[in-house]
Amino acid sequence: MSARPSHTAPPPLVERVREASRRPKTLGGAVPDAISLAMGEPDSDTPKPVVEAAVRALRAGRTRYSPITGAPDLRQEIASHLARHGGMEVESANVVATHGGSAGLAAAVLALLNPGDRVLLPEPTYSLYADHVAMAGAKAEWVSTLPDGSLDLRKLAAAAPEARMLILCNPVNPTGMVFSKADVEGIGAILRDHPDLYLLSDEAYSDIVFDGIAFTSALTLTSVQDRVVIAGTFSKSYSMTGWRIGFVCAAADVTERINLVHRTINGPLSTFVQDAAVEALRIPDDDLRALSARFQRRRDLVMRHLDGLDAVSVVRPLGAFYAFPRVDSAFSSLELVRRLADGGVLVRAGSEFGPSGEGHVRLSFATDEASIEEGLLRFTRVIKGLQVRPS
Ligand SMILES: Cc1ncc(COP(=O)(O)O)c(C=O)c1O
């Protein structure tokens, strides 16, 4: 086909997303011999029993269309898993299996928002939400978190009148913050005060928490459960980024709306991938705890390097696999990323994650310890070589 540009103007949806998007044009750079601390992808392989389940399913001919809301046994397993971890009742009617967490988030946003609706984004936060909001023709409103990474509940309450949705990332990509029970309940109180407000809680990293702290899911907000949507994914807990499987959980009438949008875009999910996902949910909780322990050791390694740097301040990550240091320098996040890449280490610009991310970079520690060690040595060398802020 011709490589020449089309002469027809793109529809407004494309222009809106292009304009709103803070995400990099390409993921992963081609800098020779660079160490990448840029990707949000666990370095370990998908657990063997999960792979074996997919192979068994393929050999058994599980290659035909699956039911459009997700395979009934998978939906039931997800419901039981959420009920067991969140300590409340969840039924399969509350669950839609989705094409990764991303498609679940997109479908939830498109199913619940009207053009022009206001959407509150506590930030810094995962950069995909603003793109989804733009796709729906709604308006993102950034609400910065407090310096210690916790929610600014006063600012959120002040912004809540007339807002339609609040999108919470918990644990937070990019800061590694895990919001306290009080913060999650504070959001519940805001929802109680504003009966038109939905909460979309992206809990992609809920299995990766450190220092023995307990994760509080928004599922626990039972008094407003008709307006709470949880999005989850198999990508991070089970190293299944390439399998493309996730889910949303909400009140049955809300899941029905979300499913309608999801199926219209995606159709049904891969049958054998869903069989493998059922197997993933049978992985013992002890294995998930071991996963957290592994990332916690890496968090400690990262913090040992960052704590020794005068020009860097960072909130200690409590979950996920990211640190979000602020670098006190004369340079923007993008310029810092460029200089760090020249110094042989790839990271993401903090400005991708919202206005208050400017001056920060995101380091991922979802890679092996030797690479983290070498990456942080290079990071330190570049940061120490930067000119301090001109007076
Ligand atoms: C906070 C958060 N939510 C959702 C996703 C999407 O994950 P996936 O589409 O692979 O399930 C990611 C991936 O990086 C993420 O960081």
The finding on whether 173 has its CB within 6 A of some atom of ligand 1 is yes
Cis peptide before 49 (omega within 30 of 0): no
Query: In the CATH hierarchy, which fold is given to the domain comprising 48-280?
Result: Aspartate Aminotransferase; domain 2 (3.40.640)
The finding on whether 241 has its CB within 6 A of some atom of ligand 1 is yes
The C-alpha torsion from 179 through 27 and 35 to 125, rounded to 10°, is -10
**Mean pLDDT value of segment 33-52:** 95
Q: Percent of the chain scored above 90 by pLDDT? A: 90
pLDDT of 79 reads 97
Cis peptide before 171 (omega within 30 of 0): yes
**Mean pLDDT value of segment 53-65:** 97
Q: How confident is the model at residue 174 (pLDDT cuts 50, 70, 90)?
A: very high
The finding on whether 169 has its CB within 6 A of some atom of ligand 1 is yes
Q: What architecture is the 13-46+286-385 domain classified under in CATH? A: Alpha-Beta Complex (3.90)
Q: If you take atom 14 of ligand 1, which residue's CA is the nearest one? A: 40
What are the structural domain ranges in the chain?
A: 13-46+286-385, 48-280
Tell me how far apart the alpha carbons of residues 302 and 341 are, in angstroms, rounded to a whole number.
18
The finding on whether 235 has its CB within 6 A of some atom of ligand 1 is yes
Provide the whole-model pTM. Answer: 0.96
The finding on whether 39 has its CB within 6 A of some atom of ligand 1 is no
Mutate to test the pocket of ligand 1, among 129, 170, 202 (most ligand atoms within 8 A of CB): 202
What is the enclosing helix (H) or strand (E) of 162? none
Burial 200-237 (b: 16+ CB within 10 A, else e): bbbbbbbbbbbeeeebbbbbbbeebbebbbbbbbbbbb
22-36, 195-209, 216-230, 321-335: which range is least confident on average?
Answer: 22-36
**Mean pLDDT value of segment 5-9:** 76
3-state secondary structure of 133: helix
**Mean pLDDT value of segment 84-113:** 94
First to last CA, the chain: 55
Mean pLDDT computed over every residue of the chain: 94
How many Cα atoms within 13 Å fall on the side-chain side of residue 39? 17
Contact by Cβ (8 Å): 315, 333: no
Contact by Cβ (8 Å): 286, 202: no
Q: How far apart are the CA of 246 and the centre of ligand 1, in A?
A: 9
Model pLDDT for residues 326-357, shown as the tens digit of each residue: 999 999 999 999 999 999 999 999 999 999 99
Could you identify the atom of ligand 1 that is nearest to the CA of residue 205? 1
**Mean pLDDT value of segment 255-284:** 97
**Mean pLDDT value of segment 224-242:** 97
Q: How confident is the model at residue 46 (pLDDT cuts 50, 70, 90)?
A: very high
The finding on whether 204 has its CB within 6 A of some atom of ligand 1 is yes
Contact by Cβ (8 Å): 311, 386: yes
Residue 377 confidence (pLDDT) above 70: yes
Residue 29 confidence (pLDDT) above 60: no
